[in-house]
């Protein structure tokens, strides 16, 4: 299988839903190869393997988006085109989350601890830093600051490493999967009386509930991170492209600045949803 030729940005834009299944395949392959080749360092290896598989698609996507930036000077038309790229990348992300989550939920606890060791420690640190619900404003600013920091990392990784933002996003996918998987396992522990098909139904319900719990606000954050990665990648591509003149470079930077502004707005909405809306359901 040659991942460079497996799917192209144009095909992904036409059929974005197929990217979900590609993400699902990538996540399961990464876990399988990670356990087989590097059983002691699987937590990070699965992330790097997914990144390796996704880099060709990210690279060609950034090149295509840069070409559109250089040809077209209509900001709203560009946003619509960028939106198509963000759309199929989001399907890819959800595929990764579901794939990692399924492995987490249906694997023995010892194996889960080995594969998601670093992710589980990250979740413990995040939970340890949560602000009490009595201080909603403090929670809002703490969440917003952390998300802005991740956005900055996505932007910088994309600027300096081109498609490097995919590393931050894949890491986030694995952490979210560990959180959802933990939620499902805890729910099952509280419902030990469920047997047979009723237990399968419970698995399905808990997985959906776990995904809803973390993606209710997380969807705004992940879209923002993809937008930040796209913005940084556009700048990176334009800087190294010798054919780009100063005038066109300014246009690319202007477009990237507009994208970053949109990403910050989405993070603001996501923080509001996480503080005010998500607690209403969970």
How many other C-beta atoms lie within 10 A of the C-beta of residue 146? 15
- Give the integer Cα–Cα distance in Å for 97 and 86: 16
Q: What is the average pLDDT score of the chain?
A: 83
What value does the mean pLDDT take over residues 17-24? 92
- Give the integer Cα–Cα distance in Å for 172 and 179: 10
Question: What digits encode the pLDDT tens for the residues 92-116?
Answer: 999 999 999 999 988 888 889 889 9
Question: What digits encode the pLDDT tens for the residues 133-151?
Answer: 446 777 888 889 999 999 9
0.85 cut: is pTM over it? yes
- Give the integer Cα–Cα distance in Å for 274 and 282: 11
Give the position of tokens 């991740």.
150
What value does the mean pLDDT take over residues 105-130? 83
* Residue-level pLDDT at 197: 47
Tokens representing residue 169 in the block: 């996003």
Indicate the domain borders of the chain.
3-281
User: What is the torsional sign of CA 220, 222, 225, 230?
Assistant: negative
Question: What digits encode the pLDDT tens for the residues 210-244?
Answer: 888 888 899 999 999 999 998 888 888 777 665 66
Of the given ranges (32-41, 61-70, 83-92, 124-133), which has the lowest mean pLDDT?
124-133
- Give the single-character DSSP code of 241: -
- Give the single-character DSSP code of 39: T
What value does the mean pLDDT take over residues 69-94? 78
Confidence of residue 13 (pLDDT cuts 50, 70, 90): confident
* Terminal-to-terminal C-alpha distance of the chain: 42
Task: Note the helical H segments in the chain.
Answer: 3-6, 9-14, 18-37, 42-71, 75-106, 109-115, 117-128, 136-161, 165-189, 196-240, 246-272, 278-281
Q: Got the DSSP string for 86-137?
A: HHHHHHHHHHHHHHHHHHHHHS-HHHHHHHTHHHHHHHHHHHHTPPPTT-HH
Residue 1 or 171, more confident:
171
How many other C-beta atoms lie within 10 A of the C-beta of residue 20? 20
Spatial contact of 110 and 250, defined as CB atoms under 8 Å apart: no
Q: What's the CA angle centered on 6, arms 22 and 66, to 5 degrees?
A: 95
């Amino acid at each position: 299988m040659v991942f460079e030729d497996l799917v192209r940005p144009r095909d992904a834009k036409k059929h974005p839903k197929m990217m979900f299944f590609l993400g699902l395949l990538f996540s399961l392959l990464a876990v399988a190869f990670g356990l087989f080749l590097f059983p002691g360092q699987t937590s990070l290896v699965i992330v790097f393997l997914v990144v390796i598989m996704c880099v060709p698609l990210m690279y060609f996507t950034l090149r295509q988006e840069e070409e559109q930036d250089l040809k077209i000077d209509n900001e709203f038309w560009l946003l619509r085109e960028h939106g198509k790229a963000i759309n199929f990348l989001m399907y890819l992300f959800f595929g990764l989350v579901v794939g990692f989550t399924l492995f987490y939920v249906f694997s023995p606890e010892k194996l889960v601890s080995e594969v998601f060791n670093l992710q589980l420690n990250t979740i413990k640190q995040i939970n340890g830093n949560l602000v009490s619900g009595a201080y909603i404003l403090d929670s809002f600013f703490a969440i917003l600051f952390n998300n802005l920091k991740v956005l900055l990392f996505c932007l910088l990784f994309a600027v300096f490493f081109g498609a490097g933002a995919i590393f931050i996003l894949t890491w986030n996918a694995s952490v979210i999967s560990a959180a959802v998987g933990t939620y499902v396992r805890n729910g099952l522990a509280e419902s030990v009386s469920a047997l047979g098909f009723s237990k399968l139904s419970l698995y399905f319900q808990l997985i959906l509930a776990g995904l809803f719990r973390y993606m209710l606000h997380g969807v705004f954050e992940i879209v923002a991170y993809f937008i930040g990665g796209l913005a940084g990648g556009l700048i990176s591509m334009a800087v190294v492209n010798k054919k780009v003149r100063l005038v066109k470079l300014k246009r690319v930077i202007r477009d990237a600045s507009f994208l970053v502004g949109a990403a910050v707005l989405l993070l603001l909405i996501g923080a509001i949803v996480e503080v005010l809306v998500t607690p209403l359901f969970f």
